[in-house]
Amino acid sequence: MTDVVLDGVDKVYPGGFEAVRNVRLRINDGELFVLLGPSGCGKSTILRMIAGLEEITGGDIWLNGSVANDLSPRDRNVAMVFQEGALYPHRTVKGNMMFPLEVSGDDRAEAHAKVLELARALGINTMIDRLPRTLSGGQRQRAAIGRALIREPSVFLMDEPLSSLDAGLRTELRVEIAGLVRSSGTTTVYVTHDQVEAMTMADRMAVLRDGVLEDVGTPEQIYADPATVFVAAFLSSPPINLLQATLWAVEGEGLLLDFGPQRLTVPWEDARASSLISHHGQSVIVGIRPDTLMPIAPGTPAAPGTVLSGQVRALEFHGHEWLAYAEAGIPTVDAAEIGRPHRPAPAAPERPGLRDRVRELLGRPNQVGEAVEEEHAGHHRRSDLVFRIAPGNRPNRGDHVALTVDLDRVLFFGANGRRVNPVLR
Ligand SMILES: Nc1ncnc2c1ncn2[C@@H]1O[C@H](COP(=O)(O)OP(=O)(O)OP(=O)(O)O)[C@@H](O)[C@H]1O
């Protein structure tokens, strides 16, 4: 039975950079828990603090019911796999997997049987006599996972173990890793910046931004009911429409979302009306995922206050669907700018990581919002509404389209980026 509790954990690096702030988290025994966030948000720092490889500067880490702040990594019984699982180059796969058991003086025959069994589960049993350099990236990662799991750690920590693999292999391995750690029942903390990996693998997950926890829950909870604009945007592909509105409570009509040239109306019967009314006269951010907008044929009747319209400016073919970008004259907001904690930006850290430095060299942005914006750079930048179209039904560029909005699935955030109505967990 091993649960991991982070109780108000802080990390300030020498030089004063605050990488992690007041993180409170309980990872339950046997859970596959994912830490998700953009590069530099502090995911690896948290993992390394759990492993004991990095000192914490505030709060407590509890392992299995005891404070572990001062325990050495060896005494924590945790195992860790990194992005490039480092294997001993002169040992075979079997030699690598045997090594932890040799160190702890296990019976050789038993150790051998155990290695074979795990290698089989990892699908590398036919290559256990090969050296790491003769393996593919995916096979090396499997061997590294095998070496980490062989001595049955209480906690298994994985830091972006799939990020150096190609997309097909990543998909294949994430299914296998999730299956393997679930069947072993080992409490696992898995770090990634890939939202698909997080949502498909996690029992529960946490979203981090600038060293602060923005949201914790099951993938379904976080996707359907995100706590902040940042979380909604980070977990949305294609990107969520984030529209700026002023909210007016109008007797007899409902709650008017005034976008300037267009309006929507939330009826009084809506369960969220009592929360929304406290924002009367204020700015709100309206989050509409592309699949919440449904194109309707011209002249089709629709309930008043449920339709937005625009002129199609660009279309993208995605195989199973088209994505359309329509100019609607509605001001949009950039999730990266909303609700940012006040602190020095991590743009110039004391010790930039290798990836930070490479990004700098390539001129790539480091923050998620900027990355999202960059994806839309160029021809989509000025577009206001993104929506999906089933194949065979697509409008043409320049067409005016009417879109019904599924109001039940629209998300409302205050100007500070937090949800207007309480988040259900
Ligand atoms: N030893 C250090 N000294 C100073 N700053 C550091 C140190 N290690 C990391 N940082 C900074 O702390 C912040 C968090 O780093 P961390 O590696 O935890 O982020 P991350 O979310 O894992 O990012 P990535 O996905 O790029 O690995 C970054 O801005 C990083 O540059």
Per the domain annotation, does 425 fall within a domain? no
Judge if 148 and 274 occupy the same domain: no
Strand order in the sheet with 322-327: 293-296, 400-405, 307-317, 322-327, 385-389
359 lines ligand 1 (CB under 6 A): no
Report the sign of the C-alpha dihedral through residues 23, 29, 34, 39, in that order: positive
Q: How far away, in angstroms, is 371 Cα from ligand 1 center?
A: 18
How does DSSP assign 125-164, residue by residue? Answer: GGGTTS-GGGS-HHHHHHHHHHHHHTT--SEEEEESTTTT
How does DSSP assign 220-288, residue by residue? Answer: HHHHHS-SBHHHHHHT-SSPPEEEEEEEEEETTTEEEEE-SS-EEEE-TTSTTHHHHGGGTTSEEEEEE
Specify the DSSP class assigned to residue 419.
B
37 lines ligand 1 (CB under 6 A): yes
Judge if 248 and 396 occupy the same domain: yes
User: Rounded to the nearest 10 degrees, what angle do helices 93-103 and 108-121 cross at?
Assistant: 130
Per the domain annotation, does 388 fall within a domain? yes
Angstrom distance (rounded) from CA 76 to CA 187: 13
Contact assessment for residue 287 and residue 334, using Cβ atoms and an 8 Å cutoff = no
212 lines ligand 1 (CB under 6 A): no
Final residue before a domain boundary, out of 200, 234, 268: 234
Pick from 44, 54, 162, 354 the residue to mutate for probing ligand 1's pocket: most ligand atoms within 8 Å of its CB.
44
Per the domain annotation, does 136 fall within a domain? yes
CATH number, domain with residue 224: 3.40.50.300
Q: What is the ipTM of this complex?
A: 0.97
Judge if 253 and 363 occupy the same domain: yes
Q: Among the residues of 262-367, which ranges form H helices?
A: 273-276, 354-362
Judge if 327 and 181 occupy the same domain: no
Could you tell me which of 283, 292, 290 has the C-alpha nearest to residue 257?
283
Range of the domain at 282: 241-414
Angstrom distance (rounded) from CA 121 to CA 126: 11
343 lines ligand 1 (CB under 6 A): no
Cis peptide before 100 (omega within 30 of 0): no
Angstrom distance (rounded) from CA 303 to CA 406: 11
Q: Is the whole model's pTM more than 0.80, yes or no?
A: yes
42 lines ligand 1 (CB under 6 A): yes
Please give the structure tokens belonging to residue 321: 């669907």
Q: How far away, in angstroms, is 45 Cα from ligand 1 center?
A: 6
Determine whether 312 is exposed, middle or buried from the number of CB atoms within 10 Å of its CB (0-12, 13-18, 19+): buried
Q: What is the pLDDT of residue 424?
A: 83
Judge if 180 and 156 occupy the same domain: yes
Q: What is the pLDDT of residue 372?
A: 33
Pick from 12, 17, 18, 83 the residue to mutate for probing ligand 1's pocket: most ligand atoms within 8 Å of its CB.
17
Q: What is the pLDDT of residue 311?
A: 95
Pick from 45, 190, 213, 343 the residue to mutate for probing ligand 1's pocket: most ligand atoms within 8 Å of its CB.
45
Three-class DSSP category at 35:
strand
Angstrom distance (rounded) from CA 261 to CA 32: 46
Judge if 33 and 131 occupy the same domain: yes
Give the pLDDT of the chain (425 residues) as one tens digit per residue: 689 999 999 999 999 999 999 999 999 999 999 999 999 999 999 999 999 999 999 999 999 999 999 999 989 999 999 887 689 999 999 999 999 999 888 888 999 999 999 999 888 999 999 999 999 888 998 999 999 989 889 999 999 999 888 888 888 889 888 998 898 899 999 999 999 999 999 999 999 999 999 999 999 999 999 999 999 999 998 999 999 999 999 998 999 999 999 999 999 999 999 999 999 999 999 999 999 999 998 788 888 899 999 999 999 998 888 999 999 999 999 998 898 865 544 444 444 444 444 344 333 333 333 333 333 333 334 557 999 998 777 889 999 999 999 999 999 999 999 999 989 88
Angstrom distance (rounded) from CA 126 to CA 209: 42
Per the domain annotation, does 419 fall within a domain? no
21 lines ligand 1 (CB under 6 A): no
Judge if 188 and 304 occupy the same domain: no
Pick from 20, 21, 35, 41 the residue to mutate for probing ligand 1's pocket: most ligand atoms within 8 Å of its CB.
41
366 lines ligand 1 (CB under 6 A): no
Judge if 49 and 192 occupy the same domain: yes
Tokens 């998620």, residue located: 368
Per the domain annotation, does 57 fall within a domain? yes
Three-class DSSP category at 386:
strand
Three-class DSSP category at 195:
helix
Judge if 147 and 267 occupy the same domain: no
Could you tell me which of 211, 209, 241 has the C-alpha nearest to residue 334?
241
Per the domain annotation, does 272 fall within a domain? yes
Which atom number of ligand 1 is nearest to the Cα of residue 47?
Answer: 18
Judge if 256 and 365 occupy the same domain: yes
Q: What is the pLDDT of residue 356?
A: 46
Per the domain annotation, does 424 fall within a domain? no
Judge if 269 and 210 occupy the same domain: no
Shortest-distance Cα residue to atom 22 of ligand 1: 44
Final residue before a domain boundary, out of 234, 259, 292: 234
Judge if 226 and 276 occupy the same domain: no
Specify the DSSP class assigned to residue 183.
H
Angstrom distance (rounded) from CA 412 to CA 73: 44
Shortest-distance Cα residue to atom 29 of ligand 1: 40
Per the domain annotation, does 420 fall within a domain? no
Q: How far away, in angstroms, is 20 Cα from ligand 1 center?
A: 9
Final residue before a domain boundary, out of 234, 262, 282: 234
- Total domain count, the chain: 2
Please give the structure tokens belonging to residue 150: 């062989």
Give residue 411's identity as a one-letter amino acid code.
L
